[in-house]
A and B are shown apart, each in its own frame.
Chain A
Amino acid sequence: MQDRIKEILKRSKADYTEIRIEEKETTRVVFRGKDLEVANANIDKGGFIRCLIKDKGWGVATFNNLEDLQNKAEQAYQCAQVGSVPERIELASVDPTENITAVEMKRDFRDIPLAEKKALAEHYNQILMEHSGKIIDTQAAYADSFTHLILANSEGTYIEQEKPSVIISAFAVSRDGDNVQQAHESLATTQGYEYVLDKDELALKAAQHAVDLLDAKPVKAGRYPVVVDQTLAGVFIHEAFGHLSEADFVYENPKAREMMTMGRKFGKGLLNVYDDGSILNQRGTTLYDDEGTPAMRNWLIREGILVGRLHSRQTAARMGEHASGNARALSYRFAPIVRMTNTAIENGTTPFEELIKDIELGVYACDAYGGETMLENFSFSSGYAYMIRNGRIAEMVKDVILAGNLFSTLENIDAIGNDFKWLNTGGGCGKANQAPLPVGMGAPHIRIQNVVIGGE
């Protein structure tokens, strides 16, 4: 395959040609209530070729039939030829790389029979169902995928990578009369099967939260000091800030360009934010992105000041910056676009007890349950939350929706915990129909003053 790919790249008449060959095996088991809904395995193998003619544009061909690469390369070239871009497309330079890597798993999930995976999902589902008579619906799922990826381009890059993923998830719906609540937990890893074994506490937590929420009172709307747990802090920095750092968005949106001026103050000196695809074994780890740019740590906020953004080779060239390793594609059906990898708020110094001890009346918001952002405005629902009273965690409350302006909210972060954690939940990020793309998020607990909380 390697020789064939190199031969085709050599022959291509385009200014730049890129080939990806992806082979992916997936297994999925889903229990819903007492029924097994899904237990099957699929094989997806395909390729992607794109050609750039700098004065015309990109042309793309995607395919399952790998026998006829030459013909596909020609199709992509013909597609590029009909284009007419308003300005010449340049690509920021990246050193060509040759690298072949393989992963090693302690227990390779490809060797585990479907029966065992089914038994595991059934076991977690059993825990959900048996936890309480108030649980009326459950879903427990197991999903794994193993991807082998070849990436090569006409500049001499040839990379082979392997990307394993295992996810378990537990979802419970509870009911008391007309009061219906739900809770969800998931765990994802890029390592072996052993990581999803013996995770009874995950199912228990989902079931218990669903039941506890039945008794929780809606939070009283108002402005509060809020302590946000690692999960919600991680999701917040990804959704509300991270997407604004994606250069394609900044470039195409004049309003965003104005907002995201380098050197602008984004928070107090204690705030540091980065995106880093090179951290081993995190969900968004991608040692080379889908254009062959090596992953690196990209500081976005340093000591409260905006210092960087995320790029593909095309956006980097357009804005006169360097490629950052953030051009990612969901699969061989898609061209790479600017995406986050592992995005995080750097660890701070304040222990959790210190974060809450001076709060007379506040909210401890945990877990994220959806959210929406529109430029600098955001709104997030927490999965569950507690009141903080006189420096202590008090009763559980529900319907906690944090809304506000990104800049004032970042500015209002006045303490950062010392308990940094990478989230290992199984969700993904969506952009331009490419979802769910695995991304990592990390943060310690953070305290934000003066947050508007919606609710009753």
Chain B
Amino acid sequence: MDILTQLKKQTEQVEVLSLQNEKTTVEYEANQLKTCTVAETKGTAVRVIRNGQLGFAASSDVSAMDKLAANALESAAYGDKAPFSFPDFKPAPIVRTFDKVVADLPIARLVEIGKEMLDLILPAAAEARCNISMERSLFSASIRNQKGLDISFKTSPLSISLEIDVIQADDVLILFDQVGTTVWQDDYLDLTRRLVDNLKRAKTITGIKPGKMPVLFAPTGTLALGLPLSQGLNGKDVYKGTSPMAGKIGERLFNEKITIIDDGTMDGKFASASYDDEGVPRRRNLLIEKGILKGFIYDLKTAAQSGVESTGNASRSLFNPPVPSFTNLVIQPGETALADILAGIDEGILVENVLGLGQGNTISGAFSNPLALAFKIEKGEIVGRVKDLSIAGNIYDLLKNISAVSKEAQWVYSTFYAPYILIPEMNVAGKG
């Protein structure tokens, strides 16, 4: 008997998630093709609510459905009180997340893309050691529940990540970024070009006197600010009371140049889909508008705990129950051209990459990161790389005072869209 039909008889509520994925990975290590792997995943996860209590179990063995059902029921016997119901079917926006071109990319083509990347990097820096990882997945899932919800969707995510290490004597330079998409993009070499530009610029090394100065965050650098911010916007931390933004909806918390949106409905983007992992339609969630806190992201459970509705942000892997997580996180570009922002800086730094993202007490808004790649800006010009510096601060203070947000913006780390952000004055520490 179908596991949904069977468990419907024994419980108040039941949800069955079936997923299937075929992931092809091509990896280059130190400029050499290292391995090629095909990984197929297939499995079923079940949540039940019985006597008001939530149970969870999962299996990657399709022939073990009876045991899976028994495990879910046993888990429910000791589960938390479930404050929510599995959702009714609701029509969702049509979001483009599947592309036959991506789906049909042969392994040989992925290998070739890696070669094209190396051909751009090595002529510019023969001493570079490049690690490249290309992952192409064909993912499909179906979610069914006792209310008759029965949806299925498929996506074709493709990601390319690139790390370039240049180690000369005691100078260690590491550049890293990643792009992701679900539809084919002809500009797949842009990531490499961007890193090569930085590599060329980084060849000139200069110094700067540590202290208070303007700091311009490049799109890759804004992650140092975006990470604590996104944590504070997560409904789970809001419910637990650990988010500094809890209870402050409607308040102006940041500079009016800051607008932040979580949008899982953008065509072709890496984290896009019509439905979330509980079958709730994905949507565009305006979180911060012109500095004013507008909302948080939730899945069914945290939404019910907080007395609100799910924002369609449930995310899960086979063996773990859902949690709220961001889809595509967008920091809205601003009004000022990057050239004009640079022109206004007499002496300051441009932060491209930081080290140790996410370490420390980030939920409080605090961050403290050594700079992996930063440049000195002098009289409006980028004059060279600066080393051995670090930045620290708290986003809840820093983002109150912003002098500019650039018109130009960039997709970085696959799911993060960010402009350049200028903080007029912050402390930069270093050897001096």
Contact = CB atoms under 8 A, between A and B. Distances in A.
Whether A and B are associated in the same complex: the answer reads yes
Contacts of A82: 26, 33, 36, 107-108, 111
B75 A40 contact: yes
B43 A64 contact: yes
Contact of B78 (A45, A59, A75, A115): A115
A65 B42 contact: yes
Given A57-B34, A61-B38, 11 more contacts: A29-B78, A42-B59, A43-B67, A57-B36, A63-B42, A64-B61, A64-B62, A78-B107, A79-B36, A114-B74, A114-B78
B291 interface: no
Contact of A333 (B39, B68, B78, B108): B39
A43 B71 contact: yes
A60 B77 contact: no
B60 interface: yes
A395 interface: no
Q: Which of A63, A113, A118 gathers most chain B CB within 10 Å?
A: A63
B78 A60 contact: no
A335 B25 CA distance: 14
Given A43-B71, A45-B60, A115-B77, A62 B35 contact: no
Given A43-B60, A114-B78, A86 B36 contact: no
Contact of B40 (A39, A59, A63, A79): A63
Interface residues of A, number: 38
A83 B108 CA distance: 10
B38 A60 contact: yes
Contacts of A72: 38, 40
A83 B33 contact: yes
Contacts of A65: 40, 42, 62
A61 B40 CA distance: 8
24 contacts: A23-B61, A29-B78, A39-B78, A40-B56, A40-B71, A41-B57, A41-B75, A44-B60, A44-B61, A45-B60, A45-B61, A57-B36, A59-B37, A61-B40, A64-B40, A64-B42, A64-B43, A64-B61, A65-B62, A72-B40, A84-B33, A115-B77, A333-B39, A335-B35
B64 interface: yes
Contacts of A359: none
B59 A44 contact: yes
Contacts of B74: 41, 113-114
A323 interface: no
A23 B63 CA distance: 12
A82 B25 CA distance: 12
A80 interface: yes
Contacts, number: 108
B199 interface: no
A19 to B, nearest CB: 15
A75 B34 CA distance: 17
Given A44-B59, A114-B78, A118-B78, A58 B41 contact: no
Contacts of A39: 75, 78-79
Nearest to A252: B30
Interface in A228-276: none
B31 to A, nearest CB: 10
Contacts of B68: 43
Contact of B71 (A42, A58, A118): A42
Nearest to B30: A252
A43 B55 contact: no
A60 B61 contact: no
Interface string A208-224: 00000000000000000
Given A113-B74, A114-B74, A75 B60 contact: no
B238 to A, nearest CB: 19
Contacts of A63: 39-42
A403 interface: no
Nearest to A56: B33
A358 to B, nearest CB: 43
A76 interface: yes
A46 interface: yes
B278 to A, nearest CB: 18
Contacts of A41: 57, 71, 74-75
Contacts of A46: 60
Nearest to B44: A43
Interface in B72-131: 74-75, 77-80, 107-108, 111
Given A41-B71, A78-B107, A62 B37 contact: yes
B153 interface: no
B333 to A, nearest CB: 35
Contacts of A76: 38
A64 B79 CA distance: 28
Nearest to B29: A252
Interface string A24-64: 00000100000110011111111000000000011111111
Contact of B319 (A42, A59, A83, A114): A42
Q: Which of A41, A63, A84 gathers most chain B CB within 10 Å?
A: A41
B58 interface: yes
Contacts of A40: 55-57, 71, 75
Contacts of A57: 33-36
Q: Which of B40, B42, B59, B71 gathers most chain A CB within 10 Å?
A: B40
